[in-house]
Structure 1
Amino acid sequence: MPTVNIFWFRRDLRLQDNAGLYHALKSNQPVLPVFIFDTNILDQLEDKSDRRVEFIHAALQELQEQLVKMGSSLEVYHGTPLSVYKTLLAKYTIEKVFTNHDYEPYALEREKAITELFKSSGASLHTCKDQVLLEKDEVLKDDGKPYTVFTPYSRKWKAVLNEFHLKPYPTQKYFANFYKQLPVPIPSLKDIGFNIVDAPFPSKDLDKELVKKYQEQRNFPAIKGTSKLGVHLRFGTISIRALATASKDLSETYLNELIWRDFYHMILWHFPQVGKGKAFKAQYDTIEWRKDNGEFERWCKGQTGYPIVDAGMRELNATGFMHNRVRMIVASFLTKHLLLDWRLGEAYFAQKLLDFDLAANNGGWQWAAGSGCDAAPYFRVFNPYLQTQKFDPQLVYIKKWVPEFQEFSYSQPIVEHEAARKRCLEVYAKALKKE
């Protein structure tokens, strides 16, 4: 059997500036690139037209084109990682498997099972930092404990970060070390049980003029004020190091968004319970959320009678994207106006967002609900009407997604704002034993 080392692509679907791939290519054996369509994940996706799967598939085809030109090939499997690695161990003598860190609870369980499997074969698993700039214990308080408030974390982050952390990994110098073989066909979307939607994805090119104006424009959903690079960061089709390097001198506000991303991954690492359905602040798990009586479905469909909320939900359902400011508005509305459990919204976003990332999604939802680290205080209840006046004053965004909002056919408000606010404050105060 051929002896190889494997690079296991996961959230890092690129050849350039890829930490784990760099270390694999510098190792002592030819490198076999592998990707697994993990059925433990895919089987949970009810929508078989999930555009994230299509995005991954398109990224794999791009990788394959590059690898074939080098006389190599990606091997793409469909199954559980354990079953796939049993197949690979029967096909190759594997010394080492390289991959990049993933901080999510399922990913850690998966790695533990693979490591156990490898014990009998002599293979070993090696992981590297790649998807964030600073991770785990790299940014800690002076007492050695993790930060739970963003602003002091960001100050320390900026003090710790140096050119070394931004330096790209020159993988291209070692491309000759890929395992040589004829092209191995990639399974089609149909082969793995998914459909082609064939809608365009956001460009992975950074618009530097947009980044320069990010501070002024980022809160207005009707204009192109955000980079929409989230999906590319999520699946690693661009390098976080390259993005930070390109943007750090253009906009501190934009850089802060990348720091928030590191912050939420650090929180997930140190407080893994947040990724398993628990509130970061345990006392918030005592809130008596209302039983849903059909209001959640109206929220999902964009039929709440609040135009800015409905516009956001309809944009999400149609495109897999929602503007950042609107994400805060719709999350606050679900948790504060409707008093429905934030986990319902977290799960819906997980199902719909192209750029879904457990750490950031959980962090955002717990921020909105007040239950998270560095969260909005429980008594902060976004007023959808004031948010509209501030951030969509000409109603351009609303008219695009809710064209009927001024007609008799449009939904009546699902709840009255002041009454909802009062109810929210009473229920939260009761649970948290505050005035």
Structure 2
Amino acid sequence: MRRLSTQDQNFKQVFADLLAFETVNDPELLSTVDKIISDVRQFGDEHVLKLTQQFDRHPAHHFSELELTQEQLKAAFDHLDSDVRKALELAAQRIRTFHEAQKQDGWSYIDDLGNTLGQKVTPLDRVGIYVPGGLASYPSSVLMNAVPAHVAGVAEIIMVVPAPKGDLNPLVLAAAYLAGVSRVFTIGGAQAVAALAYGTQTIPRVDKITGPGNRFVAAAKRAVFGQCGIDMIAGPSEILVYAEGNNDPKWIAMDVLSQAEHDTVAQAILITPDEKFLEEVAQAIESHLAELPKAEIARTSIENRGALVLVKDRAEAIELINQVAPEHLELCLDDAQAMSEEIRHAGAIFMGRYTPEAIGDYCAGPNHVLPTSGTARFSSPLGVYDFQKRSSLIMCSQEGVKPLAKAADILAQEENLDAHARSARYRYK
């Protein structure tokens, strides 16, 4: 794992190169995805089935075999081991409680002219959630996408999840049952995104697609944006840990590896002002890698995109953190809450020595669908607000409209929009 110091002459350039990553910038990838979307639009169920058989080696002969019933979801839930079931229910309840606090209501007021102005908040009618099901299978992603949608009041939740060779983690199905998913289709990839965005003979068209996936999924979401909404273009998982020397290096090393084990292009960065501690963490990482089942993935990740960064002080660390705008940020120190006040850009901030990022992935309550690749500079975690929309409310009284209409008349004339001007003029003359 490379070691960097802010005192190195070329640090700024090396650090910028380390952060540079684009999820969907391959022309060949984009061309392939565009063709898949076009074919799904033209041929519908037939083409989705064909691609599912081809890419996932799914044994289905008819499209109807790709949809799971509510009875199948309930059976998966009922057969859970008791401890697993309790953990899943705990996670679902905590996620629901947190997201209930995000729910927005409409409002209105009457201005000094007697006109009523306000905002109406309504849920989306139907959403699609994408849940990984290939190399990675995440029941937690089902809860993180479906529960906020339910809290928002979405009437219909359509879930797509790939099932390679027809196999699917039963815990994913149990989570779908617990979260109240309406329909589940065992399809994935760009074809699943296209089916949700445009609809097929069987799959209903949705208003928004949320949830993470591979680069084909990310490229497809970007391509269908505008036809429907999307949450974000998700890149590889990231963690940035800031820790000072009075931490257990074994804990911090495992926190770093918790994201590195996701993917060979995941990014894990440790920033510290303590050189001795940095070396202790480096040694602990090597020790942990000898025991991890996904050691090969984690090692590739930290060698290619990871870094141990030595800074002069906390102020310099804060500057780097805001430059990175990490998906997950751990502040492993006693006064973490005070330091968090200086952080402007991060998807989720985990404060203190006893708050590993892994807690946030499963059961803390806040959403684990977070902005990646520096997009925390301008975007936010998935939440109830992603499944609600706002309509403006305007109602003018007979007298209250007059000064507004006169102003609109004048401004419309200045913009050479005569019909606008006359429309307003009728209301006060």
**TM-score bracket relative to the smaller structure:** under 0.3
Higher strand share: 2
Q: TM-score, normalised by structure 1?
A: 0.25
